Amino acid sequence: MDSYGATEDTKQTTRGSIGSLYRAMRERRWNRERSRRIAKMLKRESATHEARAEWLEGMAIQLAEIRALPEARGPQR
């Protein structure tokens, strides 16, 4: 025993508990950061798909407008 009344076994158990707690906290933080990165990637991917859909819709509208134009007349003599 030392001057505080702790035995070597108690000290090792305390160190083991602290180490275990530290590892659990580190893993939890890593998982939270991983979840945030995945959420960002999904949001960016969704925005990309929305932008492509918007572009495609714009092209479809332009095509419809072009098709609605009157036919060009032949060359005049």
Query: 9 falls in which pLDDT band (50, 70, 90)?
Result: low
Counting every residue, how long is the chain?
A: 77
Query: 74 falls in which pLDDT band (50, 70, 90)?
Result: confident
Report the b/e string of 55-67 with b at 16+ CB within 10 A.
eeeeeeeeeeeee
Residue 16 confidence (pLDDT) above 80: no
| Average pLDDT value for residue range 2-17 | 65
> For the segment 21-51, what is each residue's pLDDT rounded down to a tens digit?
999 999 999 999 999 999 999 999 999 999 9
Question: Given the structure tokens 């969704």, which residue do they identify?
Answer: 46
pLDDT of residue 5: 59
